[in-house]
Amino acid sequence: MDLFLQLAATGLVVGSLYALCALGWGLIYGTTLHFHVAHGAVFTLAAYFAYAAQKFLGLPLALAVVAGVFAAALSGMLIDFLIYQPLERRGAIRTTLFIASLGLLTLIENLLAIIFTPDPLRMEVGWLADSVQLGPVFLTRLHLVSMATAILGFVALMAFLKYSLWGQAIRAVSSSPEMARTVGIDLRRVHLLTYAVGSAISAPAGILVAMDVGVEPYRGTTFVLLASVAVIMGGIGSIPGALLGALFLALLENIGVWKIPSEWQSTISFGVFLMFIVVRPRGFFGRKIQSAEI
Amino acid sequence: MAAEPAILCVEGLARSFGGIQAVEACTFDVQPGVITGLIGPNGAGKTTVFNLITGFLDADHGSIRLQGKELLGLSPHRVERLGVVRTFQHLRLWNKMSVLENVLLGCATPAGENVFSLFLRAGAVRAEETRARERAMEVLQFFGLADRVHELAEDLAYPEQKLLSMARIFATDAPVLLLDEPTSGLDSESLGRIVPMVRRLVDHGKTVLLIEHNMELISELSDQVVFLHQGRVLAAGPPAEITRDPALTEIYFGV
Amino acid sequence: MTAYLAHFLVMVAIYAILALSLNLLIGYSGIFSLAHAAIYGIGAYASALAALKLGLGFWGGLVVAAGAGAFASALVAIPSLRVAGDYYVVASFGLQVVVLAVFMNWTDLTNGHAGLPGIPRPKLFGWVIDQPFEYVFLAVAFAVLTWAVCWRLTNSAFGRVLQAIRDDEIAAQAMGKNVVLVKIVIACISSALGAMAGSLYAHYITYINPSSFSLHESIFIATLVILGGSERLAGPIVGAFLLLAIPEVLKFMAIPDTVAAPMRQIIYGALLIVFMLVRPEGILGRARHGR
């Protein structure tokens, strides 16, 4: 039982990280329909930025984190502005955009690998690394911070989307770009904003990993693709769905270890994903998949 | 009233989106061998009805029967196989393919499309392709596009693109043709090419159901008219009856 | 020098097969797969295991490989292609990850990281094909065969349907084409051919291990296809040739090994971005074939 609880706790911690990735990626995908795999490079970049800010600029941890988040928001916007929007202006089809995104992911990850070497680089976290015991479960303070960040991020994002003017504009575009255009919403600006917010909300995931086990250049690819699985399972266009999907996936992987050797974790996730799309392709809360606009 | 049974029977069709009822209790018959026009103001649900008939949308309730066979719940390609084929308001031509190729895709080439026979029955495949090309050329002649055979669909003038979208569905030999706004976007000169073409389709034994916006054209184009408003059938009958009804004209023009 | 050249040509031929087969998916059907390296690996392992454990020769292994590749592909294609293209991308990623996990962790079967050595060379009527230039002939012969199969597929009514699906899938459905079935069929054919390339590889190098079949490799193969373009069937072959030349060029530039690998990836990534911005129709525009 103790083992089960420990695995569940770890699952929640990992789930928090997946959730932050999924929230950001899901927001971007639901609003722009861009399969933005370069998102993996963006939050990895944020992590390296935070690491460098702490190590080379001597910034205190909190400021380094903020710097990382800003770096993510800026990178996300630049990618949309410099690559995706020009592609869309040229009438690119979605696969073209996906390929460009894949190219970006490859390019940025490998550039980081050359600059920082492929070895994991850990940030200094001081007392955050201390262990905390909750009943039979052992976690570090950092793990608790991760969970708190995910919850905060989720609540903040929901509030932003519901109550702020910009959030409502994003929701309008997400629900129907045509209608949004007719009521005078500037799609390009909303896209840029979506990228800024989406990248910013996922940045902490990369940075928390940098604080826990260290940042590596290539982990972003796996994370972003897991995020896309989480979003699909949760339902495209649903923010709570993305959160649920991420937690579900992480719990599945970590509790699965109880009975199934850990090397097979990824197999479990994708096996479940395949079954899911057979049985309920629209995910937990997604809109019903219908043929394209006819 | 009709001597023959209706070829297409729509009954109690209903479909809602979110909270909006796009189509409700929609019931009408399409008689074989004539042109039936589906008219109504904007947002009346005409394209939705087309999408429901052809399987691109699922209906909430109702029934659509083609010569007794139920079409509801079938996927679009199955609906076509059973004999109902459609054009699109936005044409949806295969722009990067040639005029000939667009029509060839409507011709029967089952052997060439089957991977096994493609490799194992080369002779049969070749014969079938030759026949298909002959048929495609006949269809293109019929539509007056024979001199455009190798041009890309996107390079055609708009009226010719409209003709091409009709040509390719005609090539399928399907008995029921659904034309989605065949006259939209055309000037009077081009109308002179398209409108007689629609009539010639029926002369060849086809049944045509078309969506038409222009009240003036409807009398010329259709033999029967179905008036749709807010997703319901308000009236059905000969065009003269419908166009002269003041209540309906009021609804149509929103006066 | 000649042995080096022979090796280069064999690898170009193998990658040409991989690129041609993936092109059927990406270029002709507009379906993006991240799993082609996994399929390549399935072919290699299936063929190697058939030889090592069942005593089948290269030719038997080839058939086993094709079957295994098609099967794995069908497993993923059938659920995901019914839904939408983006689902297939994610599902293919899943396949790639799972297959690699199997190669690395099912050690009883695959020997894990250590790999499988001692795979026999092909035999043709009792003659063992083990001289470098003999292998070049075999590999090139298979590449030509693959090219011929792809040509037949694309220059036919079936090829027309593929193009129609890529150009406007909705119109294809309205015209009676069973789009989902066609996509599944092409995915299986693409995988059968890709897996055969794996068999060719396994019996050439005579040793395989999981590291040759990673996600990076899938991206590399996709890059070959995308850059080479699918305007003509020669495109992927040109792509294979060019992209295999890049690492060789880098070798001559005396770049340290640790930097060379990521440097190659940076070049591939940059090329993908530039091509999409400047010449996307290299792959995703019309693939013109005979009229």
What does the pLDDT look like over B54-109, one tens digit per residue? 999 989 999 999 998 999 999 999 999 999 999 999 999 999 899 999 999 999 99
CA-nearest of C49, C101, C96, C104 to C72 is C96
Domain encompassing residue C50? 2-211
DSSP C51-92: HHHH---HHHHHHHHHHHHHHHHHHHHHHHHTT-HHHHHHHH
Contact between A142 and A128 (Cβ < 8 Å) = yes
B80 in reach of chain C (CB within 8 A): yes
Residue B136: CATH number of its domain? 3.40.50.300
C280 in reach of chain A (CB within 8 A): yes
Report chain C residues whose CB lies below 8 A from the CB of A111. Answer: 262, 266
- Give residue-wise pLDDT tens across range C207-254: 999 999 998 899 889 888 888 776 567 777 777 877 788 777 777 777
Split into its structural domains, chain B has a count of: 2
Instruction: Give the pLDDT score at C1.
Output: 66
Contact between C153 and B70 (Cβ < 8 Å) = no
Domain encompassing residue B188? 1-83+175-255
Nearest CA-CA distance, residue A290 and chain B, Å: 7
Report chain A residues whose CB lies below 8 A from the CB of B56. Answer: 291, 294
CA nearest to B50 within chain A:
A294
B52 plus B100 within the same structural domain: no
Measured between alpha carbons, how far is C66 from C149 in angstroms, rounded to an integer? 14
Both tokens assigned to A264: 């097979």
3-state secondary structure of C230: coil
Task: Give the mean model confidence (pLDDT) for residues C112-137.
Answer: 86
Domain end residue (candidates: B119, B146, B173):
B173
| Domain membership flag for residue C283 | no
B214 plus B224 within the same structural domain: yes
Residue C282 pLDDT > 60, yes or no? Answer: no
At position A207, the amino acid (one-letter code) is I
- Give residue-wise pLDDT tens across range A146-156: 999 999 999 99
Helix A2-32 vs helix A239-259: crossing angle, to nearest 10: 150
Instruction: Give the pLDDT score at B254.
Output: 66
C112 in reach of chain A (CB within 8 A): no
Phi, psi of C172, deg, nearest 5: -60, -40
- Give residue-wise pLDDT tens across range A157-182: 999 999 999 999 999 998 888 888 88
Report chain A residues whose CB lies below 8 A from the CB of C82. Answer: 281
CA-nearest of A253, B112, A81, A40 to C101 is A253
Measured between alpha carbons, how far is B189 from B163 in angstroms, rounded to an integer? 14
Measured between alpha carbons, how far is B133 from B128 in angstroms, rounded to an integer? 9
Query: Of chain A residues 35-94, which have a CB less than 8 A from chain C?
Result: 35, 83, 86-87, 90, 92-94
CA-nearest of A218, A279, A275, A209 to C94 is A275
Residue A124 sits at the vertex; the CA angle it makes with A123 and A128, to the nearest 5 degrees, is 110
Instruction: Give the pLDDT score at A69.
Output: 96
Nearest CA-CA distance, residue C1 and chain A, Å: 32
Nearest to C175 among B98, B129, B172 (CB): B172
Domain end residue (candidates: B127, B144, B173):
B173
Nearest to C79 among A87, A229, A278 (CB): A278
* High-pLDDT (> 70) share of chain A, %: 97
ipTM value: 0.91
Domain end residue (candidates: B155, B173, B191):
B173
The subunits that touch chain B, with at least 3 C-beta pairs less than 8 Å apart, are A, C
Both tokens assigned to C213: 């079949």
Residue B105 sits at the vertex; the CA angle it makes with B104 and B108, to the nearest 5 degrees, is 80
B72 plus B182 within the same structural domain: yes
Instruction: Give the pLDDT score at B206.
Output: 93
Report chain A residues whose CB lies below 8 A from the CB of C215. Answer: 221
Residue C122 pLDDT > 60, yes or no? Answer: yes
Are A291 and B47 an interchain contact pair (Cβ–Cβ within 8 Å)?
no
Measured between alpha carbons, how far is A38 from A195 in angstroms, rounded to an integer? 11
B109 plus B164 within the same structural domain: yes
Count other C-beta atoms under 10 Å from residue C266's C-beta. 20
| Domain membership flag for residue C232 | no
Residue C48 pLDDT > 50, yes or no? Answer: yes
Split into its structural domains, chain C has a count of: 1
Query: Of chain A residues 255-294, which have a CB less than 8 A from chain B?
Result: 290-291, 294
Contact between A238 and A33 (Cβ < 8 Å) = no
In chain B the beta strands, taken as DSSP E runs, fall at 8-17, 20-30, 35-39, 61-66, 69-70, 84-86, 176-180, 207-211, 224-229, 232-237
Residue A260 sits at the vertex; the CA angle it makes with A259 and A266, to the nearest 5 degrees, is 140
- Give residue-wise pLDDT tens across range C138-181: 999 999 999 999 999 999 999 999 989 888 899 999 999 999 99
Contact between B76 and C150 (Cβ < 8 Å) = no
Report chain A residues whose CB lies below 8 A from the CB of B47. Answer: 294
- Mean pLDDT over each residue of chain C, to the nearest integer: 86
Phi, psi of A38, deg, nearest 5: -65, -10
Instruction: Give the pLDDT score at C281.
Output: 61
Task: Give the mean model confidence (pLDDT) for residues A184-191.
Answer: 91
Are B80 and C189 an interchain contact pair (Cβ–Cβ within 8 Å)?
no
Cα dihedral: B149, B155, B158, B159 (round 10): -20
Query: Of chain B residues 225-254, which have a CB less than 8 A from chain C?
Result: none
Query: Of chain A residues 85-104, which have a CB less than 8 A from chain C?
Result: 86-87, 90, 92-100, 102-104
The DSSP H or E segment spanning C124 is strand C123-124
CA distances from A64 to A50, A197, A204, C179 (A): 5, 18, 11, 51
A267 in reach of chain C (CB within 8 A): yes
A183 in reach of chain C (CB within 8 A): no
B60 in reach of chain A (CB within 8 A): no
Tell me chain C's radius of gyration from C-alpha atoms: 19
| Interface residue of B15, B56, B86 to substitute, partner A, most A CBs within 10 Å | B56
Are C98 and A271 an interchain contact pair (Cβ–Cβ within 8 Å)?
yes
b/e per residue, A186-211, with b = 16+ CB within 10 A?
ebeebbbbbbbbbbbbbbbbbbbbbb
| Domain membership flag for residue C93 | yes
B187 plus B68 within the same structural domain: yes
At position B103, the amino acid (one-letter code) is V
At position B32, the amino acid (one-letter code) is P
Are C280 and A92 an interchain contact pair (Cβ–Cβ within 8 Å)?
yes
| Domain membership flag for residue C222 | no
C157 in reach of chain B (CB within 8 A): yes
Report chain C residues whose CB lies below 8 A from the CB of B85. Answer: 174-176
In sequence order, what are the residues at sequence separation of 6 or more whose Cβ sits closer than 8 angstroms to the Cβ of residue C175? B77, B80, B85, B105, B106, B168, B169, B172, C164
* High-pLDDT (> 90) share of chain A, %: 60
C79 in reach of chain A (CB within 8 A): yes
Measured between alpha carbons, how far is A275 from B244 in angstroms, rounded to an integer? 58
Measured between alpha carbons, how far is B149 from C64 in angstroms, rounded to an integer? 45
Residue identified by tokens 């109702």 is B62
B71 plus B179 within the same structural domain: yes
Contact between A121 and A51 (Cβ < 8 Å) = yes
pLDDT beneath 70: ranges in chain B: 1-4, 254-255
Instruction: Give the pLDDT score at A288.
Output: 60
State the sign of the Cα–Cα–Cα–Cα dihedral A218, A219, A223, A225. positive
Residue identified by tokens 């065009």 is B239
B38 plus B10 within the same structural domain: yes
3-state SS of chain A is CHHHHHHHHHHHHHHHHHHHHHHHHHHHHHHHCCCCCCHHHHHHHHHHHHHHHHHCCCCCHHHHHHHHHHHHHHHHHHHHHHHHHHHHHCCCCHHHHHHHHHHHHHHHHHHHHHHHCCCCECCCCHHHHCEEEECCEEEEHHHHHHHHHHHHHHHHHHHHHHHCHHHHHHHHHHHCHHHHHHCCCCHHHHHHHHHHHHHHHHHHHHHHHHHHCCECCCHHHHHHHHHHHHHHHHCCCCHHHHHHHHHHHHHHHHHHHHHCCHHHHHHHHHHHHHHHHHHCCCCCCCCCCCCCCC
Q: For strand B8-17 and strand A137-140, is the pairing parallel, antiparallel, or unpaired?
A: unpaired
Instruction: Give the pLDDT score at B213.
Output: 80
Residue C135 pLDDT > 60, yes or no? Answer: yes
Measured between alpha carbons, how far is B151 from C92 in angstroms, rounded to an integer? 37
Residue B23 bridge partners (DSSP)? B15
CA atoms within 13 A on the CB side of A193: 20
Residue C164: CATH number of its domain? 1.10.3470.10
| Interface residue of C83, C153, C168 to substitute, partner B, most B CBs within 10 Å | C168
CA nearest to C171 within chain B:
B92
Q: Could you tell me how far CA B56 lies from the centroid of its own chain?
A: 14
pLDDT band at A115 (very low <50, low <70, confident <90, very high): very high
CA-nearest of B95, B74, B96 to B83 is B74
Start-end of H helices in C34-178: 36-54, 58-81, 85-105, 107-110, 132-154, 157-167, 169-174
Q: Could you tell me how far CA A115 lies from the centroid of its own chain?
A: 24
Both tokens assigned to A127: 């007392």
Are A290 and B51 an interchain contact pair (Cβ–Cβ within 8 Å)?
no
B61 in reach of chain C (CB within 8 A): no
A262 in reach of chain C (CB within 8 A): no
A95 in reach of chain B (CB within 8 A): no
